[in-house]
Amino acid sequence: MGGSEQARRALLVDDEEDPLKCSRSLNIGVNGSSPATCFLVFSTIVAATCSFTSGYSLGYSSPAEYGVLADLSLSMAEYSVFGSMLAVGGMIGALINGKIADFFGRRTMMWIIDVFFILGWIAIAFTKVCWLLDLGRLLQGIGIALASYVGNVFIAEIAPKNLRGGLMTTNAFMKSSGVAIAYLIGSVVKWRGLALIGCIPCLLQTLCVFFIPESPRWLVKNGREKEFEAVLQHLRGTKVDISQEAAEIKEYAECIQLLSENKIWDLFQKKYAGPIIVAAGLMILTQFSGLSGYTFYLTNIFVLADISTKVGYAALAIVKVSAAGTCLGSLLTGLSFLFQDLHSWISVLALTGVSVYFVSFNLGIAGIPWIITSEIFPINVKGSAGSLCNLINWSCSWVVSYTFNFLLEWSSTGTFIIFAGVSAFGFLFIVKLVPETKGRSLEEIQASVTNVLH
């Protein structure tokens, strides 16, 4: 064994308890840039289809609300259970997503995710009883939790650092587009037909997954080095020299393999304090800014504000992919209810508030928690960290989605003022604590993120 190899081994043993310190010492990072190959872009779009289906599922319950209530004779409380079952499924999925994704691989997980979504849509479309409706929603929640983790991690692991940020925004765009399509189609199609249409992107993705690769980082982690190099070369292009990037990924993987695999409770150590606070904080603030309430029960908001649901959903479908301020959106919506009795035209303020909220959310905070979570944790704890953050996210989503209709009955204005306050605090949290990741490799980010609180 050569001197350099001995030195490297000694370094890895000394830093066995701290993968972040190990990656700092190895000076992991890729200095060059890589082009956006057709294969890379295609693989990204296929993976992001999970986010489109997730968005469609999230948006489904709002346009379907009054049709389901009438056809199945449900009370508002029973429908609130239906809406919140998505979050219950999300919590179940959060407990298993990281581990099974690490076991089966990112690519195989996309097929598993599609199975959950398709079974969920079939259960909803053909139900005649309340419990089957809830079961379908539960399966969708599991699918969304799995998709949120797998889609982001897969894209983060196949993308070069100079393109990673741009490619990962595909997830946020696709999710927001899925919600918009559900709103738009739901304004003219009944709830059972709307559910069956949800199977289409799942079937398309199932076919396309045959033509995309497994994550190169997952391959090298599992000792499949020949496949790893072939996949990385295909993703970067045949004329690109991948030797430096491949060597650095391998070396980091070897460093991580010397460490014991961490459990969820192992995350609560000082060395992971920064990443946990940032990731968990973003998940909590995202949900308590009112996301699930707006998304799941938009029809109820429109009805209370005396807005035509068809006009409202058409407007939302247009602005769902544009820009602006969740705090401002919630404030405008709250004020519209406060002054509702003063002028008949004040309902326009509610539509403006809802539109500003969704525009701002989808071009801002929508993708940040998942992108940051997929980037800041080292690979040996990424599975556990993904499960923990997903669990936090869906727990908060359940609280908001179950209580939203009851909060509206208590005070429409007060509900949205609370959401505005949380959004304002979230802005300060991001400015102070969320690290910059642009232009840095995953290994560089993970090596430096422990300094986020200093």
Q: Which of 445, 441, 15, 448 is nearest to 247 (CA)?
A: 441
Question: Is the confidence at residue 89, as pLDDT, over 80?
Answer: yes
Question: Is the confidence at residue 408, as pLDDT, over 60?
Answer: yes
DSSP at 34: -
pTM for this structure? 0.72
**Domain 13-451 part of CATH 1.20.1250.20:** yes
Mean pLDDT comparison of 60-64, 194-198, 334-338, 405-409, highest-scoring range: 194-198
- Report the half-sphere exposure of 292 (CA within 13 A, side-chain side): 30
pLDDT tens across 174-198, in order? 888 898 889 889 888 999 999 999 9
pLDDT tens across 144-156, in order? 989 988 988 899 8
Per-residue confidence (pLDDT) for residue 441, from 0 to 100: 66
The mean-pLDDT minimum among 26-30, 294-298, 314-318 falls in 26-30
Per-residue confidence (pLDDT) for residue 160, from 0 to 100: 87
Question: Is the confidence at residue 364, as pLDDT, over 70?
Answer: no
Q: Per the structure block, which two tokens stand in for 287?
A: 């949900």
Question: Is the confidence at residue 209, as pLDDT, over 90?
Answer: yes
Average predicted confidence (pLDDT) for the chain: 77
Taking residues 113-121, what's their average pLDDT?
Answer: 97
**Sign of the torsion formed by the C-alpha atoms of 16, 17, 19 and 25:** negative
Residues 403-440 as b or e (16 or more Cβ within 10 Å = b): bbbebbeeebeebbbbbbebbbebbebbeeebbebeeb
Percent of the chain with pLDDT strictly greater than 90: 24
Please identify which residue in the block is written with the tokens 């496949």: 227
Which of the two residues, 19 and 276, has the higher pLDDT score? 276
Question: Is the confidence at residue 102, as pLDDT, over 50?
Answer: yes
Question: Is the confidence at residue 382, as pLDDT, over 60?
Answer: yes
| CA angle 376–380–383, rounded 5-degree value | 75
453 in Cβ contact with 273 (< 8 Å): yes
190 in Cβ contact with 72 (< 8 Å): no
Per-residue confidence (pLDDT) for residue 348, from 0 to 100: 62
336 in Cβ contact with 350 (< 8 Å): yes
User: How buried is 234 (Cβ within 10 angstroms: 0-12 exposed, 13-18 middle, 19+ buried)?
Assistant: middle
SS3 81: helix
User: How buried is 3 (Cβ within 10 angstroms: 0-12 exposed, 13-18 middle, 19+ buried)?
Assistant: exposed
Question: Is the confidence at residue 404, as pLDDT, over 80?
Answer: yes
Per-residue confidence (pLDDT) for residue 214, from 0 to 100: 94
Q: What are the residue boundaries of the structural domains of the chain, listed by start?
A: 13-451
Q: Per the structure block, which two tokens stand in for 96?
A: 């298993």
User: How buried is 223 (Cβ within 10 angstroms: 0-12 exposed, 13-18 middle, 19+ buried)?
Assistant: exposed
pLDDT tens across 275-310, in order? 888 888 888 888 887 777 777 777 777 677 666 565
Residue 401 to residue 91: CA distance in whole angstroms? 13
Per-residue confidence (pLDDT) for residue 263, from 0 to 100: 66
Q: Per the structure block, which two tokens stand in for 74?
A: 């449900």
Per-residue confidence (pLDDT) for residue 24, from 0 to 100: 42
pLDDT band per the 50, 70, 90 thresholds, residue 358: low
- Report the half-sphere exposure of 198 (CA within 13 A, side-chain side): 41
pLDDT band per the 50, 70, 90 thresholds, residue 368: low
Per-residue confidence (pLDDT) for residue 111, from 0 to 100: 96
Taking residues 261-283, what's their average pLDDT?
Answer: 78
Taking residues 147-176, what's their average pLDDT?
Answer: 85
| CA angle 444–448–450, rounded 5-degree value | 140
DSSP at 212: S
pLDDT tens across 237-254, in order? 888 888 888 888 888 777
Q: How many CB atoms lie within 10 A of CB 2?
A: 7
Per-residue confidence (pLDDT) for residue 10, from 0 to 100: 37
Taking residues 375-389, what's their average pLDDT?
Answer: 75
Which of the two residues, 117 and 304, has the higher pLDDT score? 117
